[in-house]
C-alpha cells in the first residue's frame, strides 16, 4: 500500500482517488476550492464516445481566426501577448490536420467507451443514485451543409463500431413531441449516455469520505519540493504534506504547478458557460445545436444549456456576451424555449484544461519518478473521468494498462 496525494478535486482527481482507494492505497485529495463549482459541476453531463474527433482538427484554426473577431462565436481566443499562449497556438495549428485525426480517433473512442462503461459499473457496484440515462445524442442542423458535415462523423462512428445514423426532422419530432424545432435534419448517436454532474460528484465525495479518503478543501498547493527527480513533499498554504506517489490533476492550474517541477505542459484554460431552467422545455433528449455549438441536456429536474470555448486565461469572470450567445442559439433552434433574464444572470462558468492536440496528458513524465499527470481533457473531462482514474491507478500500481497510453504521454512533442 502506498500513500498517494492527489492535487485537484474535480472529476479527474476524484476518479483517481476512487480507483487508487479501491486498489488498497491510502489517498489524500487536496483542492484549493470548496469543491462545489467549476468545470466538473457546470458541464453538459455527456458520456460521449461520439465526441472522438479532437478539438485540433482540419479547418479549426482557420475558423478560429475568423471567430476571433466575433465575441459571440463558439470558439473565442482572446488576443494577448503571452508566450505560453503563443507556444500553445503554434502547437495547436500544427495538430490541425487529417493525419492527426485519423491517428487519435480510435484511441479517443476507446477511452470514451471505457469511461462510459465505468460510470455504469461504479453506479452498480456502489449503489450510487445519480442520474445516468442512455438516450443517445442528437446533433441538430439548420443547414444542409452542416448536416452533410455531421453525416461524415456518423461514418467515422460506424467505422469505430458505434451506433449512429442520420435522421429526418420528422423523426426527431416524433422522439420529442413536446418541442417545437427549426431544423433541416440531424444525426443521432445512440451510443451516448448523459448524467446530472452535481449528483455524481456528491455521491463520489460522500463515498470517498466514508471510505477513509482524506479530502482537504480550500487548501492551495503553493510549492513542490523536488530532489533528484523525485517529489519529497508538497507545501500548501496550511502545512507540508508527504506521500509516496503524487497525482497532478489540477485541471487548468496544472501547467502552473508543473513548472515548479521543470515540466512544460502546454495547456490553456478553455472557459465554458452554462445556463439552466426549471421551466418545461419539451427537450427530452441530449441535443447539440451543430452550427452554434450549444449543448442541451435534460437533467434531473431542469434543462441545462452549455457551450462556448473561450480561451482568455485563468479567470471565472462571466462574459455576458457569451451567455447571450447561448440563449440566442437555443431560441434559434427551439423557438418556444425562452430563457429568462434571471436565468441568464445566474449563469456559471468552468475552466477546461485544453492541450494543443486535443488529447489528455495521462502518465508519468521522465522528469519525475513519483508523479503521475492527469489533465488536458478539454470538453471530454466528464466523459473521461473514470477511465482516466483507472489508467492512473494502473500506472501507479505498475500493471498493464487497460489500453495503449502512448498518445497520452505527458512528454510528447508537438
Domain coordinates of the chain in residue numbers?
A: 3-408
Reported confidence tier of residue 63, pLDDT bands at 50, 70, 90: confident
Phi and psi at 126, nearest 5°, equal: -100, -10
150-160: average pLDDT: 93
More confident residue, 65 or 215: 215
Mean pLDDT value across residues 2-25: 98
Q: Is the pLDDT of residue 65 over 70?
A: no
* Backbone φ, ψ for residue 209 (5° rounding): -65, -45
**What's the whole-number average pLDDT of the chain?**
95
Per-residue pLDDT band at 318 (split at 50, 70, 90): very high
What is the widest separation between alpha-carbon atoms in the chain?
A: 65
Average pLDDT score over residue span 279-294: 97
Q: Is the pLDDT of residue 67 over 80?
A: no
Take residue 351 and report the three cell numbers written for it: 475552466
Per-residue confidence (pLDDT) for residue 384, from 0 to 100: 98
Q: Where are the alpha helices (DSSP H) in 39-82?
A: 39-42, 60-67
pLDDT of residue 69: 65
Task: Quote the distance between the C-alpha of residue 230 and its chain's center.
Answer: 29
Q: Taken in order 194, 175, 162, 167, is the CA torsion positive or negative?
A: negative
Confidence of residue 33 (pLDDT cuts 50, 70, 90): very high
93-117 pLDDT, tens digit per residue, is 899 999 999 999 999 999 999 999 9
- Looking only at the bridges linking them, the beta strands covering 132-133 and 193-195 are antiparallel
The domain made up of 3-408 has a fold known as FAD/NAD(P)-binding domain (3.50.50)
What angle do the packed helices 381-396 and 98-126 form, to 10 degrees?
80
Model confidence, pTM: 0.96
User: Measured between alpha carbons, how far is 182 from 350 in angstroms, rounded to an integer?
Assistant: 29
Whole-number Å distance between alpha carbons of 109 and 304: 25
pLDDT tens digits, one per residue of 231-253: 999 999 999 999 999 999 999 99
Half-sphere CA count of 294, side-chain side, radius 13 A:
26
80 near 383, Cβ under 8 Å? no
pLDDT of residue 14: 98
pLDDT tier for residue 76 given thresholds of 50, 70 and 90: confident
Residues 352-380, mean pLDDT to the nearest whole number: 96
User: Which one is predicted more confidently, 311 or 119?
Assistant: 119
- Residue 131 cell numbers, joined: 442520474
Q: What's 305's DSSP letter?
A: E
CA distance 373 to 283: 38
- Give the pLDDT confidence score for residue 72 in this predicted structure: 76
Q: How far apart are CA 242 and CA 261, in angstroms?
A: 16
pLDDT over 80 at 68, yes or no: no
Beta strands 221-227 and 230-236, pairing class: antiparallel
Please give the average per-residue pLDDT across 48-52, as a whole number: 94
pLDDT for residue 56: 79
- pLDDT category at 211 given cuts 50, 70, 90 is very high
Angstrom distance (rounded) from CA 156 to CA 126: 34
Amino acid at each position: 500500500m502506498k500513500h498517494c496525494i492527489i492535487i485537484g478535486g474535480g472529476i479527474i482527481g476524484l476518479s483517481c482517488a476512487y480507483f487508487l482507494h479501491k486498489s488498497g492505497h491510502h489517498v489524500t485529495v487536496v483542492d484549493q476550492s470548496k469543491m462545489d463549482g467549476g468545470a466538473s459541476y457546470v458541464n453538459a453531463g455527456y458520456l460521449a464516445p461520439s465526441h472522438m474527433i479532437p478539438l485540433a482538427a482540419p479547418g479549426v484554426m482557420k475558423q478560429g481566426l475568423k471567430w476571433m473577431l466575433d465575441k459571440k462565436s463558439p470558439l473565442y481566443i482572446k488576443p494577448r501577448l503571452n508566450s505560453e499562449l503563443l507556444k500553445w497556438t503554434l502547437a495547436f495549428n500544427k495538430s490541425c490536420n487529417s493525419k492527426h485525426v485519423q491517428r487519435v480517433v480510435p484511441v479517443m473512442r476507446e477511452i470514451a467507451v471505457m469511461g462510459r462503461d465505468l460510470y455504469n459499473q461504479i453506479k452498480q457496484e456502489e449503489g450510487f443514485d445519480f442520474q445516468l440515462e442512455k438516450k443517445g445524442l442528437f446533433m441538430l442542423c439548420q443547414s444542409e451543409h452542416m448536416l452533410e458535415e455531421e453525416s461524415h462523423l456518423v461514418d467515422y462512428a460506424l467505422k469505430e463500431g458505434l451506433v449512429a445514423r442520420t435522421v429526418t426532422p420528422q423523426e426527431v419530432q416524433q422522439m420529442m413531441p413536446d418541442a417545437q424545432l427549426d431544423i433541416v435534419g440531424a444525426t443521432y448517436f445512440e451510443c451516448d449516455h448523459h448524467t446530472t454532474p452535481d449528483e455524481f460528484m456528491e455521491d463520489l465525495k460522500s463515498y470517498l469520505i466514508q471510505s477513509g479518503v482524506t479530502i482537504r478543501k480550500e487548501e492551495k498547493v503553493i510549492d513542490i519540493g523536488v530532489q533528484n527527480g523525485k517529489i519529497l513533499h508538497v507545501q500548501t498554504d496550511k502545512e507540508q504534506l508527504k506521500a509516496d506517489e503524487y497525482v497532478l490533476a489540477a485541471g487548468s492550474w496544472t501547467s502552473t504547478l508543473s513548472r515548479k517541477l521543470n515540466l512544460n505542459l502546454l495547456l490553456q484554460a478553455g472557459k465554458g458557460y452554462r445556463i439552466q431552467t426549471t421551466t418545461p422545455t419539451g427537450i427530452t433528449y441530449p441535443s447539440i445545436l451543430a452550427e452554434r455549438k450549444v449543448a442541451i441536456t435534460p437533467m434531473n429536474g431542469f434543462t441545462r444549456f452549455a457551450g462556448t470555448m473561450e480561451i482568455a486565461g485563468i479567470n471565472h469572470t462571466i462574459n455576458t456576451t457569451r451567455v447571450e450567445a447561448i440563449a440566442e442559439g437555443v431560441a434559434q433552434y427551439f423557438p418556444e424555449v425562452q430563457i429568462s433574464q434571471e436565468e441568464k444572470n445566474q449563469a456559471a462558468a468552468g475552466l477546461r484544461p485544453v492541450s494543443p492536440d486535443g488529447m489528455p496528458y495521462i502518465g508519468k513524465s521522465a522528469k519525475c519518478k513519483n508523479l503521475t499527470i492527469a489533465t488536458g481533457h478539454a470538453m471530454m473531462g466528464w466523459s473521461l473521468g473514470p477511465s482516466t482514474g483507472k489508467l492512473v491507478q494502473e500506472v501507479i500500481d505498475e500493471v498493464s494498462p487497460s489500453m495503449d497510453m502512448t498518445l497520452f504521454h505527458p512528454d510528447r512533442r508537438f
